[in-house]
Amino acid sequence: MEFLRKIEEKWQKRWEEARIFEANPDSSKPKFYITVAYPYPNSPQHIGHARTYTMADVYARYMRMQGYNVLLPMAFHYTGTPVLAMAKRLAEKDHDLMEDFINVYKVPEEKLEELTDPLGMARYFHEEIKEGMKRIGYSIDWRREFTTVDPQYNRFIEWQFKKLREKGYIKRGSHPVGWCPKDGNPVGQHDTQGDVEPEIGEFTLIKFKHGEWVLPTATLRPETVFGVTNIWINPKAKYVKATVDGEKWIISQECAEKLTYQNHKVAVLEGLEGKELVGEKAENPATNEEIYILPAEFVDPKNATGVVMSVPGHAPYDYVALENIKSETARLGEYGLTAEAIKSIEAISIIEAPQYSEIPAADVVRRMGIKEQTDPKLEDATKEVYRHEFHSGKMKSNTGKYAGLLVAEAKEKVKQDLIASEKAATMYELLNRPVRCRCGAECVVKIFEDQWFIDYGNPEWK
């Protein structure tokens, strides 16, 4: 290996002395410009960087061999949360991060204090990444090097956004974004641990009446409200009674905080245990039927409202959970429930799909041999039923005015009608949660108001 390194060093030195990668104006050759996403200098390069920049380098070398005058510059992304968050974690003496910096990144311990300053960190890893790129042998014209905090670059970005605004490609408005509650800023893929892009979904919160209170059940399938047989509550979770926009809601403790980021006025009145609600009843706003509130530890209080409506006819998770609880007669007694009352709950069929019998969830669960709520096959079962029902399912006669509609059409109509009659609201949630900011905080969804957004839906982009 030492022999190969010497050959490598020899020719890299010759390249540098000959300035062969410096691209100067040359009217005798067609020009070709290559740019690549700038690296964030908050840690050393990894194999992903090598893949990204090697692809660009191979392309640059190929185009040179085709006779082009190729310019391949390089820059470093100092701005944004990746550098800020990493420096902040280091300043807070994050043990795991300090261990990585010393033992994995080989940063001298006496240098750590310097790296708690974002600019100090960026400059340190800037030089390390640059040296690594040189050692790999990338054909970069280093005279063109810059960073995103250079004054000239800042002016370029200002010019760019003014042009986008002039052309109507950016608009001012309010939209849901991934948000770090600790840092107080929006987050995208590069701002999160593991480079996870926050996936935002809109839940319909259907309001089931519970005396003077509302149990807002969060669902991605509002059209299935006609098939609800019960409500699931996690008996071990913490819930709160709160006023939300003037209404009295019972929601998970976590939900109360999340709603404050989404333009809801929330005032927590008192706390209660989930088990206090189990065994009581609620009223379905679509059918006016009373249904039981049943215990289910699979309900995640951190997901949406922590209150779930059960549709065992069309949701495999609900079907298995209901079948399981029917056999847990001893447990039912803890909540004042009788075995007879629970065994009388039957799945309701509200959607006709050619692939299934009356109860699609039962068909899939039996075919896949699913017995327990923890079976990972339930995820595939759920996706299968939803896919077939969404694309080829029709609403049955027991869904009232929606009978005969395709599920794809009924889904939005039911949602809008429930909202218009104040029987439902909406809430945004991260579908791939938990997503963590680089600072370590768990991200939420925030309605970001009166801000500039790039209008990617504009057909002029295409």
**Is residue 462 very low, low, confident or very high in pLDDT (cuts 50, 70, 90)?**
low
Give, as one character, the DSSP assignment of residue 102. Answer: I
Strands (E), 238-378: 238-244, 247-252, 266-273, 281-283, 290-295, 307-310, 351-352
Please tell me the predicted confidence (pLDDT) of residue 168: 87
Residue 417 in this model has a pLDDT that exceeds 80: yes
CB 415 within 8 A of CB 222: yes
- Quick count: other Cβ atoms within 10 Å of Cβ 46? 8
In the predicted model, what is the mean pLDDT of residues 83-99? 91
φ and ψ at residue 203, rounded to 5 degrees: -95, 145
Task: Compute the mean pLDDT over every residue in the chain, rounded to the nearest whole number.
Answer: 93
| Crossing angle of helices 2-18 and 118-136, rounded to 10° | 100
Tokens (6 digits) for 456:
């990617």
Has this prediction a pTM greater than 0.85?
no
Instruction: Walk me through the domains of the chain, giving residue ranges and CATH numbers.
Output: 2-146 (3.40.50.620), 204-427 (3.90.740.10)
- Give 189-208 pLDDT, tens digit per residue: 888 888 899 999 999 999 99
Report how far residue 311's alpha carbon sits from residue 321's, in angstroms, rounded to the nearest whole number: 10
Please tell me the predicted confidence (pLDDT) of residue 1: 78
CB 5 within 8 A of CB 11: no
Residue 61 in this model has a pLDDT that exceeds 90: yes
Q: Is the dihedral of CA 433, 437, 439, 445 positive or negative?
A: negative
Report how far residue 235's alpha carbon sits from residue 254's, in angstroms, rounded to the nearest whole number: 15
In the predicted model, what is the mean pLDDT of residues 157-170? 91
The residue whose two tokens read 């990972």 is: 376
Report how far residue 72's alpha carbon sits from residue 145's, in angstroms, rounded to the nearest whole number: 10
Please tell me the predicted confidence (pLDDT) of residue 81: 84
Residue 82 in this model has a pLDDT that exceeds 90: no
Pairing of strands 290-295, 230-233: parallel
